[in-house]
Amino acid sequence: MELSLHNASQKHLKNNRHSHCKILQVSDLLKQYQTNLTHQEHILEGQILAQQQATNASEKKLKETIDTLTWELQEKSKEQEKLLQQNVNLQEALQRAENFSGPCPEDWLWHKENCYLFSSESSYWTKSQETCLSLDAQMLQINSVDDLHLPEAGKAIANVLNLKILEEQEKTLECCYEI
């Protein structure tokens, strides 16, 4: 029985050693897993931090781009407003130039250093002469379009006064010019 107790005791001791080895192995494995997990956590934290930094840098660059584009758009808008105002000013100047009568009185047409007044009324020759004399001007008689030697005057007559060559020979379209 002693032998059997000894055998049982040794067997138990062997089993205990074996169990203790297994416990140590499991403990070592757990420590190794814990170390691996900690290492992987550090790697993931580093990757997350790098991603956050990249995202922050990207957001900063995007904000700078938006700010730059906003500034450029404002500058282009100012430039467009300036050009629009210049266009309005030029149109007004052109309108004034179209209506410019040179050194002539109002409603008179300036052409080649002379002032001309075209009347939309037709009257007899003597009445036309009197009108011109009262304006300190001389009368110019136009009986046909061929008689027109004034390009601007011809346009003025045709467009503004709706020129009609008078059928009656004793009547004429009044046109006075200053000397």
Q: What is the largest CA-CA distance in the chain?
A: 171
C-alpha 19/C-alpha 12 separation (Å) is 10
**What pLDDT does residue 35 have?**
93
CB neighbour class for 42 (10 Å; exposed up to 12, middle 13-18, buried from 19): exposed
Vertex 84: Cα angle to 82 and 85 (nearest 5) = 65
The pTM score is: 0.38
pLDDT digits (tens, 9 = 90+) for 55-98: 999 999 999 999 999 999 999 999 999 999 999 999 988 877 76
Q: Locate the DSSP E strands across the chain.
A: 109-111, 114-124, 137-139, 171-178
**What pLDDT does residue 106 have?**
78
C-alpha 72/C-alpha 96 separation (Å) is 36
pLDDT tens for each residue of the chain, 179 residues long: 555 555 555 565 566 666 667 777 888 888 999 999 999 999 999 999 999 999 999 999 999 999 999 999 999 999 999 999 999 999 988 877 766 656 777 777 777 777 877 777 777 778 888 888 888 888 776 666 555 555 455 555 544 333 333 333 344 445 555 54
**What pLDDT does residue 126 have?**
83
**What pLDDT does residue 172 have?**
45
Beta-strand relationship, 109-111 and 137-139? unpaired
The pair of structure tokens assigned to 91 is 């149109």
